[in-house]
Chain A
Amino acid sequence: MNVEVIYTTQIKAALERASENVEVPDGSSAVDLLQQLAAQHGATFGELVFADDGALLPALIVCVGDAQLVDPAARPLAEGDVVTLLSPISGG
């Protein structure tokens, strides 16, 4: 199935792109999607999304549509979902 990923802030800057469409296996969760993207985009992306132990960084906000997923591993994505990654920012 196909999902759209929207990158923001530091992830957008690191990847030099604001979005992409990604083909993922049916039943994939947002975490599965992010692991696939980390394999594709390498360490620059991986460091902004995953901790050293491989767990999702707790400060990464993952949204599907306009709602945050508290547990991005908990439910499968659906065809056409728009997944937004909000990397934490604190500029004042």
Chain B
Amino acid sequence: MREKPELTAEERATYEWQMWVPDFGEAGQRKLKAASVLVSRCGGLGSVVAYELAAAGVGRLVLAHAGNTKPSDLNRQLLMTYDSLGTPRVESAERRLKELNPRLEIVAVNENVSPENAERLVDQVDLIVDCAPLFEERLAMNAAAVAQRKPMVDCAMYDLEAHITTIVPGRSPCLACLYPQKPPAWRREFPVFGAVSGMVACLGAMEAIKLLADFGESLAGQLITCDLRTMTFRKLRIERRRDCHVCGDL
């Protein structure tokens, strides 16, 4: 992570209330200002993750999401607007984030994560929040994050349910420990309310903030499951695979 920069008067005013959080304070705010986060896809999950990180004062966001805004994005992809239909999603995302936080540095990449670009994208950041709808993308991101020993918060949802965990390479199970092969039954299109993706996105954003500012307890080695049909939240202990083809040697 870069040198921790001083806060400007405007930043002190903007972040005053969150700097009252015990264990965070001005030192934590300066860590966020120095930090850089990759958000893989700015869909229902990634839009809200990016918005919360922009609001919290993370200094730099790398946003990776290909394609143009479609009508079916607008029930949950909160960085996309009606006016942006038919135009690149990352442009709408950048515009909306800058409206909230003009100090934010944004690298908008009109690509989804793949084995070809994952290393280059991960190389630019301190932490990754993985919000991609396909396991191919998630597993490519996981491999790059583990190779570069960078933490990754992994958020996923389906219907009214969600999973979230934090991967700290070498210390916790990685995504390939949990899913050694691409799950055959998963399809890109899935039932979703924006309130569900937004809920798990807020959990993921807070997890990222804690890791970047070094306070609280991370979810490393634990998986939270939520079911909003019954408002059931559970925290499950998950295990590394000694023979994991991605992190087994760490």
Q: A residues engaging B (CB < 8 A)?
A: 8-10, 12-13, 18, 47-48, 51, 57-59, 61, 63, 66-68, 70, 84, 86-92
B185 at the interface (CB under 8 A from A): yes
B110 at the interface (CB under 8 A from A): no
A92-B157 in contact (CB<8A):
yes
Alpha-carbon distance A48/B186, docked complex (angstroms): 10
Q: Which of B134, B161, B180, B223 contacts A90 (CB 8 A)?
A: B134
B178-A48 in contact (CB<8A):
no
Which residues, 173 to 192 on B, are CB-close (under 8 Å) to A?
178-186, 190, 192
Interface of chain B: mostly helix, strand, loop or mixed:
mixed
B135 at the interface (CB under 8 A from A): yes
**Contacts of A13 on B, CB cut-off 8 Å?**
159
**Contacts of A47 on B, CB cut-off 8 Å?**
185
B190-A88 in contact (CB<8A):
no
- Total inter-chain residue pairs, C-beta < 8 Å: 97
Interface size on B, as a range, is 35 or more
B45 at the interface (CB under 8 A from A): yes
Select from chain B the residue with minimum beta-carbon distance to A51: B184
**Contacts of A84 on B, CB cut-off 8 Å?**
234, 236
Q: How far is the CB of A46 from chain B (nearest CB, A)?
A: 11
**Contacts of A67 on B, CB cut-off 8 Å?**
236-237, 239
B180-A59 in contact (CB<8A):
yes
B227 at the interface (CB under 8 A from A): yes
A59-B178 in contact (CB<8A):
yes
B225-A86 in contact (CB<8A):
yes
**Contacts of A89 on B, CB cut-off 8 Å?**
156-158, 161-163, 186, 190
| Given the contacts A9-B159, A66-B234, A88 and B131 also touching, CB distance less than 8 Å | no
Q: B residues engaging A (CB < 8 A)?
A: 41, 43-46, 131-135, 138, 155-159, 161-163, 178-186, 190, 192, 197, 223, 225, 227, 230, 234-239, 241
Alpha-carbon distance A18/B236, docked complex (angstroms): 17
Q: How far is the CB of A82 from chain B (nearest CB, A)?
A: 11
**Contacts of A91 on B, CB cut-off 8 Å?**
44-45, 133, 156-158, 190, 192, 197
B237-A87 in contact (CB<8A):
no
A68-B236 in contact (CB<8A):
yes
Best-surrounded residue of B135, B178, B180 (most CB of chain A within 10 A): B178
Alpha-carbon distance A18/B132, docked complex (angstroms): 26
Q: How far is the CB of B3 from chain A (nearest CB, A)?
A: 33
Task: In the A-B complex, list the 7 residue pairs whose CB atoms are closest, starting with the nearest.
Answer: A89-B158, A88-B183, A59-B183, A59-B179, A92-B133, A91-B190, A92-B131
Q: How far is the CB of A55 from chain B (nearest CB, A)?
A: 11
**Contacts of B235 on A, CB cut-off 8 Å?**
66
**Contacts of A90 on B, CB cut-off 8 Å?**
132-135, 138, 156, 158, 183, 186
